[in-house]
Amino acid sequence: MDQIVNVDEFQELAKQALPKMYFDFYNGGAEDQHTLKENVEAFRRIMFRPRVLVDVRKIDMSTKILGFPISAPIMIAPTAMHKLAHPEGETATAKAAAACNTIMIVSFMSTCTIEEVASSCNAVRFLQIYVYKKRDVTAQIVRRAEKAGFKAIVLTVDVPKLGRREADIKNKMISPQLKNFEGLVSTEVRPNEGSGVEAFAASTFDASLSWKDIEWLRSITKLPILVKGLLTREDALKAVEAGVDGIVVSNHGARQLDYSPATITVLEEVVHAVRGRIPVLLDGGVRRGTDVFKALALGAQAVLIGRPIVYGLAAKGEDGVKKVIEMLKNEFEITMALSGCPTIDDITRNHVRTENERL
């Protein structure tokens, strides 16, 4: 473990550890995978405007999300089927979240049950949901999450249908959990050809979902509701109007609509529309502490990490996830110090320069 110095190195370790079908599932994006590259590259085009001669002996990375304290603005994004990466699945990820004092968003496609995840650790957990054609299935799981002490619901809105992930189609991606699901949801889907995940989504997800359904969600839960997967000021305003408690700017890790913009390039548009009324989080392509800083400078309250967490889990289980989060935290801490920002509140728009801005 000591030899691993950045999160990207976990990608290679995960590739060695996993069967090709599962690595491709975790790693891949939609179609040309243009957005997949852009999510990472767009961060690289943002440069710093560091300030000097600030007392940075003490750096405080801590912050609060929906009132819940976390050690740094780095949370765990919901990603599907952790048992494909490691036998302990989501419980290992949750234990790492607890050890790192951060929030885990558990995927609706979890391979451990809500109750297993809840009893494995005392991390603050949010539940990500998809709305099924059979709405009572979703409603029941939301109720179970409330009972198990989950603190918020994250409604993912960018999957009316599954994006075309060509590796999964070629590999005929199918997980044992889709055939014989032990996690949150059960299904009878047993596709024979193409991507099993796509067939599952097509038969199960409610593609009619619209803004008025936020009311339905409100009617079945008292938990705060975040909407994950929007990329425009228009939808940000709709989300505020709908009364949600937070937004996650996300293109689903470039797995849905290829040629969606890199998330970091549309963050400010959303932040300006929201005008501080609700928190704005971001995910997609965060691979360095410098990326975390850039997202905060452009107005995000925190970032979510997707693939690097799964790579850490595949390579080294719970310890691998911990190491991924710790590395990002260390890099973020150094970035704060070298930018002259001892606290999160010190990070401002003036600390970064986007590619459109002249010096």
Choose one: 58-66, 105-113, 132-140, 189-197; the region binding ligand FNR (CB under 6 A). Answer: 105-113
Q: Say how far apart CA 125 and CA 315 lie, in whole Å.
A: 23
Q: Would you give the binding string for ligand FNR spanning residues 84-103, x where CB under 6 A is met? A: --------------------
Q: Say how far apart CA 79 and CA 94 lie, in whole Å.
A: 12
SS3 content of the chain, % helix, strand, coil (to 5): 45, 15, 40
Q: Would you give the binding string for ligand FNR spanning residues 287-306, x where CB under 6 A is met? A: ------------------xx
Query: Least distance in Å: CB of 96 to ligand FNR?
Result: 16
Q: Choose, by CB under 6 A, the member of 79, 175, 177, 301 that binds ligand FNR.
A: 79
Query: Least distance in Å: CB of 153 to ligand FNR?
Result: 12
Query: To the nearest 10°, the Cα dihedral for 92, 95, 96, 99?
Result: -160
Minimum CB distance to ligand FNR smaller for 80 or for 278: 80
Distance separating the N- and C-terminal Cα atoms of the chain:
41
Query: Least distance in Å: CB of 254 to ligand FNR?
Result: 7
Minimum CB distance to ligand FNR smaller for 214 or for 305: 305
Minimum CB distance to ligand FNR smaller for 56 or for 73: 73
DSSP symbols for 121-156 = ----EEEEE--BSSHHHHHHHHHHHHHTT--EEEEE
Q: Strand 125-129 to strand 280-283: parallel, antiparallel, or no bridges (unpaired)?
A: unpaired
Query: Least distance in Å: CB of 141 to ligand FNR?
Result: 13
Partners of 76 in beta bridges = 104, 305
Return the SS3 of 334. Answer: helix
Q: Say how far apart CA 264 and CA 291 lie, in whole Å.
A: 9
Minimum CB distance to ligand FNR smaller for 56 or for 299: 299
Query: Least distance in Å: CB of 284 to ligand FNR?
Result: 4
Q: Would you give the binding string for ligand FNR spanning residues 10-49, x where CB under 6 A is met? A: ---------------xx------------x----------
Residues annotated as catalytic are 252
Q: Say how far apart CA 105 and CA 124 lie, in whole Å.
A: 9
User: Binding residues for ligand FNR, per CB under 6 A?
Assistant: 25-26, 39, 77-80, 107-109, 128, 156, 228, 250, 252-253, 255, 283-286, 305-307, 310
